[in-house]
Every structure is written in structure tokens, then in C-alpha cells.
Amino acid sequence: MYKLVISNPEKQMKNGFEKCRQMHPKVSLNGGIGNYKVKGNENIYNVQLFRDDRGQKLAECCCKANENGMFCYHIAAAFLAHTGIMRLKKAA
Ligand SMILES: [Zn+2]
């Protein structure tokens, strides 16, 4: 899997967010916060969102687009869910 650095999510995942609006992928937690399963058309993809030692935000997905170093809509979907969860946690 290819580790993508999230530096400007709005720009980097613009297409991904767009596709999410069309596809409505299902996101569920996969064990813990930061690990997600995203169900697209048929397949389920594992997406991980995490930080490295330097505090950089990274994203990984097990699909083909990610192997090519692209932000796929699975990552975009997981990112949206992740942002929502973190916001809830802060509010609690
Ligand atoms: Zn993907």
C-alpha cells in the first residue's frame, strides 16, 4: 500500500468527495479509530488514517488507485467519517 500525505484534503480529495456524493460508499470502523472498511460498488476496501512520527497525517487504502499514489474515494469517504468522529469526540 502507498502512504499518502494529507496536506490539503479539500484539494487533494476534491474528486474523491465528488465521487462519494454519487456513490454513497458505506464506511464502518474496523477495530478502532483510524481503521475503516469502505464498501464501494462490490468490494470492501481497508483504509487507514494515521499520523507518522513527525505528526504528518497519512492515508492508505488497499485499492488500485492508491497503489498508483492517488487519493481514491475510499480514502475520501473514510476521511469524512474520521473527521466526524473526531469532532464528536471533542464535543463530548
Ligand atoms: Zn481506495
- pLDDT tens-place values along the chain, 92 residues long: 899 999 999 999 999 999 999 999 999 999 999 999 999 888 999 999 999 999 999 999 999 999 999 999 999 999 999 999 999 988 87
Q: How far is the CA of 82 from the centre of ligand 1 (A)?
A: 15
Cα–Cα nearest to 26, from 84, 65, 78, 63: 78
- How much of the chain is helix, strand and coil, in % rounded to 5? 40, 25, 35
**pTM of the model as a whole:** 0.93
Q: How far is the CA of 30 from the centre of ligand 1 (A)?
A: 15
Which ranges constitute the DSSP H helices of 1-92?
9-12, 14-23, 64-67, 73-91
Q: How many domains does the chain have?
A: 1
Q: How far is the CA of 53 from the centre of ligand 1 (A)?
A: 24
Provide the residue range defining the domain that includes 49: 4-91
DSSP 22: H
By the 10 Å C-beta count (0-12 exposed, 13-18 middle, 19+ buried), 88 is classed as exposed
Q: Domain holding 66: CATH number?
A: 3.30.310
